[in-house]
Structures are given as structure tokens and as C-alpha cells.
Chain A
Amino acid sequence: MRSMLKTSAAAFAILAGTMGAVSADGLTGDLKIFLDTSNPAPRATMEQMIEQFQAKNPDLNIETTVIDREAYKTQIRNFLTANAPDVATWYAANRMRPYVEAGLFEDVSDLWAEPAIADNLASTKGAMTIDGKQWGVPYTYYQWGVYYRKDIFDELGLSEPTTWEEEKANCQKIIDAGKKCYTIGTKFLWTAGGWFDYLNMRTNGFDFHMDLLTGKASWQSDEVRKTFANWRELIDMGAFIDNHQTYSWQEALPFMVQGDAAAYLMGNFAVAPLRDAGLTDDQLDFYQFVEITPGIEKAEDAPTDTFHIPANAQNKEAAREFLRFVVSPDVQTEINNGKNLGQLPVNAQSSVDDDKFLVEGFEMLSTNSPGGVAQFFDRDAPAEMAKVAMEGLQEFMVKPDNLDKILARLDRARERIYK
């Protein structure tokens, strides 16, 4: 009797297994997808991609909800606990930690064990890993770096700098010509985080930067002070546009378009609005952030956007299949091309679009970032710390003399937040 039960159970398991394999091509039930890609272009891309998935799985009833990108950041807390979708977008690294720790994201390490993903997505695995498990898959990422006005550089006889001295010398010439070196809008704080990321990674290296953002290093240490001293050199030169604390990053774009500022340290998403504003590819170019401390391995910011399965999802089978679909080489090539997201594909088998910034960015991230790849200031540090710290960075940019007060405040916050 017992053995019979066992065999029938085994048979059932096999049956279920084969059924699972069959249904991979013919999934049924409902699949609820929540997206934060509310800007017109990404939204169209996502909807198109989901349509393709629907065409492959005609029996699946897919329901897509697009939520405003900013509103999504607060709504996610509600919908993950009550009425969870089957698939939801979010961000990698520490930004997903609160939900992982609250048990609201599904462990998808099994997907990462499959060769199709394990072999081709290795570069982003670290960003998706917490406590040795993977909690989602990436669908796009993009480089950061200095976007500059090539025509202004040519006019002033400047070339792309590679060292800190060259960077400052260039900047001095730009200022002497009556322009500003960098445009920036720090109203929403995070843009200052980008500057700090680069200055600190170049001054002290990737590992120290991570120690600082994860609370292991002190904000009052000599290393951090050195970073701020470097930053201050630029501030004292008058390198940044005035009144940047009043502008958002979009409001800071016109300074560059009109030629009042020569460069912008930004993510690749700044290229599209700059082109829309009328800058051609002859006027616009890109260089990697310069070396500061000689000999320190360069590391880059490359924020990754991700898909997750909420722990309370109803149709996890279909959700997993959707995740496999999203990261597959062809889909990755398609959704990240210049006509769609205009970013970098996460799958090593995909091809990068012919866009000059994407090619250069991909090259930089794959060959010239030996130190490591960071997500971004507010994704690597816990949310609370990021908020306090970025406020301090903005204050420093406006009132560099307050540095001691700011650093003391950040260290107090560190003791509270990471205890």
C-alpha cells in the first residue's frame, strides 16, 4: 500500500513536472503586472513587450497597470502587502532591501540557477543578491558620466580630460570664457549624490565608498574629508551654475543647451531631452569621470531597474515565465534599443544599439570599470541615510564652510540608522 502511494505520488510528480513543461508554452490564469514606467517612451516599450508575451501565451489573461513613477515609490508598500500583483518593477541593491527583509519579495534564486540566466546575467547578479539569494531580475541599466558640449570644448581648444589636473585646467578655461563648467539641479537632492559617488570613488576607491554607504566607515574620517576637499576646489572655482538648489535636473538642462554651462554629470537618460532640445551628436559627447587618486581602480555608477515577484503573488508560475522572457537576449536587445528605452541590455548575448553614447557606455562599463559597479548613492545607502546625507551634500554645495557641522550630523545619523 505504502509503496503504491509512493509510486503514485512519484507518478503524479512526474505528471505535474511534464505539465509544467507543457504549460510553459501555454500558461493560463491571470497575470497582474504593475509598472512604474510612466514616461511615454518607456511606457510604450513595456506595453509592446507585454503584447509580445501575450501573443506567445494566448491563454493567459494579462492585466497591466502603469503607475506614475514617483507615486509608485510610496504605493509599492501598500500593494505588496495587500492585493499584490504577480510582477512589479523596482530597483536593485539596497533599495529593495526593506521589501526583502519584510518577506514581500519572492526568492527567485531558482531562476538564477538556470543556465540561460546564470551564464548571461552574471554582471548584475551582485546587485540582485541579498543574503546570498536573488530577489528579482534586472531589465535595463545605464551608465553615468560626463556629458559635455563638444562644440564649446573645440571652440576653447579643450580635449577630453583624463586626470583631475586636466579636469580642473579645462574648467578654469571654461570659467575664463565666461561660462560655467557644470550644470546641475539639486532641488531633489539626488543629483548631488551622483557627484559625491564619483568624487568619493575616484578619491578613495569603490570599497571605501561602499563601506561608507553601508555604515562601516565614518563620515568624519580623513578619507571623506579628502573627497570634500576635492569637491571644494571645484566649488571655490565657481565651476557649478549658480542657484542650482532651486532647480530640478530637467530645469538645469537649458543651461547646457544654451551654452551657459559646458558639461553635465548625469545618467544616460539625459541624452534624450538634450537631443530633443536641439543638440546634435556633433555638439554632444561623453567622457568617463576622470581619475583623481592615481592608481585607484575606476568604478562606475550604473543604476539597474528590475522586475520582482511579490511574495503574495497569485500566479508565480506565469510570473517566472515572464521574468525569463524579459531577460532573454532578443527581448533585451529590442527593449533597450535607441527607439525604445535607449539603455543597456542586461543579457550578455544581446547586442547594444548603434547609438554612440550606448556604445561608449557599454565599452566603459565592460572594460574600464575594474573597481566595481555601484548602483547609485540613494540605492546603495539605506533610504533614511541617503535622504539625510544628500541634504548635507546639497548644503555643502551651497555653503561649503558648514562642512564640519554637516559631517558631524551625518555621523550622528549613521549611528542611529545602522545600529
Chain B
Amino acid sequence: MAQESVAQDHQSSWWHRNQQQLTPWLFLAPGILFFLFYVIFPIFQSFNLSLYEWDGLGKAEYVGLYNYEELYWDEAFYTSLKNNVIWLLLYLLAIPAGLFIALFLNQTVTGIRLYKSLFFFPFVISQVVVGLVFTWFYDPTFGILNVLLGAVGLPPMNVLGDENWVTVGIIVAGLWPQTAYCMILYLTGLNAVDPEQIEAGRLDGAKGWKMLWYIIVPQLRPATFIAFVVTIIGALRSFDLISVMTNGGPFGASRVLSFYMFEVALSEYGFRMGYGAAIAVVLFLIMLAFIAYFLWSMYKEEKAR
């Protein structure tokens, strides 16, 4: 028997000898091909396009770094950049909010499944619907927000029409589904919390905040990491809410980079592909910083194991 198999091994083809190494690559091949074609290649294409002036129809004209110089002088670009930073910071509130809702819902009472699904509901419905609901909520004439403000004696406000409030208003709308997402991540995380450690903590006299901060939260690290990743990426690609709620207005005050890019390159009045590509490159570099950090910390974790 043994002799036979050795003989077979000896004659076997190159494929047979390398099967072990090749199979994973074969399985990965479709994914890699699509990733190369739809992600990596367009990135370089955008880099290249940002050096041209092109209306999407005629001939592209090489202009070097002119598009970036334009960006430097463009007020709208700085408004968008500033709004992106606000989005990044405020959107992170979804993480603690999600954690507290998850803690609150992590109990066994009758109908808890129903409550959980109700809290999760905003994440299931489309962002467009969320945007519309909040637009009506904020409506300065017919919306319920001003009714509520009036009830407590505050003056009415036009959240989406005021350039200082509009971004915050949209972020609040965005936090609604994002909080639900973080909540689900933490709920699953809480299932994995080790009851023995809680017991031990209790014996040592840990209670309330201390219990949460020193015993529970450290065990939720994986969930927190994922929540960070999805929230930051969600903040950077915020687009649908802005498009639905304000269309970038009033006078461009609620634009973020992704929306501005769309506007100059692809919208009804947009004919500046090169300029749009330049904005895309800037956005990509910002994202790259985060992605690199995430990849690095994931790599570190893998190695520590």
C-alpha cells in the first residue's frame, strides 16, 4: 500500500504536487480579479484623471496639478472638509449611545425580542426614508420640532435652512440608524461576556460605572473595534442623507467631500471630471489614513495571538 502511494506521488503532475498551495489562490481568484478591476484600477484611474481637465464628453486636456491648485482656492472645498471633520467627530457618538442601549436591552423580560427589533428598525429602513422622516420633523412651518420647541418656550428654528445648524441636523438623522447598528454589535458582544469575571469583579466590590469600565468594556473590545470601523467609514461616505435632506444647501453649507465630488463631476450641472477626481483623491487619502490604522491594529492583534 505505502509503496504504491509513494510511486504515485512520484509520477504525479505538477498540479498534484502544488494542490495545497494553489487551491486557496484559485478560490480567491474571482474575488481578487473583481477587487483589482473595480477597486484598485479605478483608484489609479482617478489619480490619473485628476491631472486632466475633462467634461466627460470631449477630449481630456492635461493640466498637471492645476485641479489641486483650484481646490486650494476653493471655499466650497474647505466647507466640505470642515463638515467631514464634524461628521467624523459627532458620528462617533453612535458608539457610546449604541453601547448604552445594548446594556439596557441586555435583559430577559417578556417581549424583549420585540423591543430589540424596534430599536434595530431604523437600521433596516433605507437612508432615504430616514432622511425624509427627519426633513419633515425639522420642517420650519409644519414640522413637529418647532411645536416641541414652542411647548417649552423656545423660539422656532429652521435647522436645515441655517448654515450653522444644518450639518448637525443631518448628523442627528444619521445617528439614528448608526446607533442601532452599534447596538446590535454590542448586543452580540455582550453575549460573549464571561459571567465568571463579572462574578469575580462583584466579589472584589466592583459596581456600577467601575464594573462597566473595568470589567465589561474591555471584554467588548472586538465589538468596539468593529463599531469604530463601520462608524468612521459611514461618516466619510455620508452622502444619501445630505442629498435627500438638503441637496448640499443652503448655499452649499452642508456639503461633504463625497457630495461635492458628485456635484462637480456627475450631477445635473457637473462637467468637471478632473476636478471631481481631485476631490476623490483627497477623500481617498483621508480614508487611507484610517484604513491603514485599522489594518495595522488588526495585524497587531493577529500577531499577538
Contact = CB atoms under 8 A, between A and B. Distances in A.
Interface stretch (A99-107, A149-157, A205-213, A325-333): A99-107
A189 B55 contact: no
Given A246-B139, A246-B161, A187 B268 contact: no
Interface stretch (B13-21, B42-50, B211-219, B249-257): B249-257
Interface string A306-328: 00000000000000000000000
A187 B247 contact: yes
Contacts of A98: 55, 57, 271
A74 B271 CA distance: 10
Contacts of B140: 242-243, 246
A211 B266 CA distance: 27
Interface stretch (A136-144, A354-362, A389-397): A389-397
A81 interface: yes
Contacts of A186: 249
Interface string B100-119: 00000000000000000000
B178 to A, nearest CB: 24
B301 interface: no
Given A189-B249, A394-B249, A378 B269 contact: yes
B297 interface: no
A384 B271 contact: yes
Chain B binding surface SS class: loop
A409 B57 CA distance: 27
A71 to B, nearest CB: 10
A409 B75 contact: yes
A74 B251 contact: no
Contacts of B250: 245-246, 394-395, 398
Size class of B's contact patch? 20 to 34
Nearest to B70: A416
Nearest to A102: B57
B246 to A, nearest CB: 7
A102 B58 contact: yes
B58 A187 contact: no
Interface string A240-252: 0011011000000
B269 A187 contact: no
A383 interface: yes
A98 B272 CA distance: 12
Given A104-B57, A246-B161, 7 more contacts: A73-B268, A80-B57, A242-B158, A246-B138, A383-B270, A387-B263, A391-B249
14 contacts: A77-B57, A98-B271, A102-B58, A187-B249, A243-B141, A245-B249, A246-B140, A378-B269, A383-B269, A383-B270, A386-B269, A387-B263, A391-B249, A391-B251
Interface of A: 70, 73-74, 77, 80-81, 98-99, 101-102, 104, 186-189, 242-243, 245-246, 378, 383-384, 386-387, 391-392, 394-395, 398, 409, 416
